[in-house]
Amino acid sequence: MKVSVDVDCTPAEARAFLGLPDVTPIHDKYVKTMLDSFDGVANVEQMETLFRSFSPLGDAGMRLFKQMMDIGLAGMPGKNGDKNPG
C-alpha cells in the first residue's frame, strides 16, 4: 500500500509546522554583511581573498571547489575549441 500526501504551503509555513526556528533576521544580517564587504573590493585579487575568508574550509575548500568545477567543465561537450559537440 502506498499513501501520498501533498501539502501546499510556503517555506515559512513549512518551517513553522516542523517547529524549525525562523532564521530570517540572521540571514538578512549575513547578506547585508556580505554586500557591505563587497563595497571596498576594487580588483579580482581582493575578491578572491574575500571569498577565501568566507569559505567554510578556507583554502582547502576553495581548492576542492575548483577541482569540482574543473572536472565538470572537462566533461562538457565542445572543449578544446570544438564548435560542434556532436
Question: Mind listing the pLDDT tens digit for each residue in 60-85?
Answer: 777 887 888 888 888 777 655 555 55
Higher-confidence residue: 56 or 45? 45
* Residue 49 falls inside a structural domain: yes
Residue 56: the pLDDT is: 66
Which structural domain range is residue 25 located in? Answer: 11-76
* Residue 86 falls inside a structural domain: no
* Residue 16 falls inside a structural domain: yes
Cell numbers of 7, please? 501539502
Report the percentage of the chain scoring pLDDT > 90.
13
* Residue 54 falls inside a structural domain: yes
* Residue 30 falls inside a structural domain: yes
* Residue 84 falls inside a structural domain: no
Count how many domains the chain has.
1
Alpha helices in 1-86 (DSSP H): 11-18, 24-38, 44-54, 59-74
* Residue 5 falls inside a structural domain: no
Q: Show contacts of 9-17: CB within 8 Å, 24+ apart.
A: none
